[in-house]
Amino acid sequence: MKRLLIGTLATAALSGSALAHSHGAVTFEDHLKPVLAQHCFMCHGPYSPGIDRFDEDKSGYSAMLVGPRMYAYDELMEFVTGGDAGALMRRLDDGSHTSDGQPGNMYEYLGETEEERAENLKLFKRWVGHWTLKRSAEMTDEDHKLIRALERR
Ligand code: HEC
């Protein structure tokens, strides 16, 4: 009986995601990086061009399935609150916030299954803290204040 209980507790602890143990503080270092490494860095990793170089030949890079680098925290933030603010949210949305109801074109990369995509989207949403699809020029100070997107604890 005791053994069974311990076994059950161990299984429960193992199956709980890292997120369940994060006590609410979702950070780039602890939670986002592993997901990015698994699903995004093959096209947005250390060997991808920075956003300025990418913009000089957008179609050339895109044709090779190479996206702009989002490897470091600051590089990723460019697409959250920086010059291309909201891009991360627009590209990853599952269609619930887009005007045409279609998912953003990076949504499919969030996982192999619908369940995994939904789970990872939830993580990105918790990290951003304020899921707005507004473009940089439309974002208000209030929007900027509400976005959390922490680098580390
Ligand atoms: C197979 C390669 C590939 C994968 C995997 C991929 N992307 Fe992309 N991504 C691209 C390419 C190529 C572009 C540029 C073309 C475009 O804008 O659609 C892009 C564009 C983007 C943009 C917009 C950049 C801009 O200039 O505004 C964001 C944000 C983005 N990706 C996020 C992600 C995230 C987050 C993941 C992981 C969940 C991911 N992508 C996975 C290839 C990829």
Q: For 103-112, what is each residue's pLDDT tens digit?
A: 999 999 999 9
CB atoms within 10 A of CB 74: 10
> Whose C-alpha lies nearest to ligand 1, atom 9?
67
- Residues 6+ positions from 27 with CB-CB distance below 8 Å: 127, 150, 151, 152, 153
- Say if CB 89 and CB 77 are below 8 A apart: no
Q: How far apart are CA 42 and CA 127, in angstroms?
A: 21
Q: What is the pLDDT of residue 22?
A: 53
What does the DSSP assignment read for 19-45?
Answer: GGGSTT--BIIIIIHHHHHHHTHHHHS
CA 90 to ligand 1: nearest atom: 29
What pLDDT digit, counting tens, does each position of 105-146 carry?
999 999 999 999 999 999 999 999 999 999 999 999 999 999
pLDDT band at 21 (very low <50, low <70, confident <90, very high): low
Convert the pLDDT of each residue in 44-62 to its tens digit.
999 999 999 999 999 999 9
109, 127, 133, best to mutate for ligand 1 pocket (most atoms within 8 Å of CB): 109
The alpha carbon of residue 104 and the mean position of all alpha carbons in its chain are separated, in whole angstroms, by 12
Q: What is the dihedral of CA 22, 26, 29, 30, to 10 degrees?
A: 20
- Contact 89 CB / ligand 1 (< 6 Å): no
Nearest to 87 by CA among 114, 60, 105, 112: 105
Tell me which residue has tokens 């190479």.
Answer: 66
Tokens 């990418």 correspond to: 54
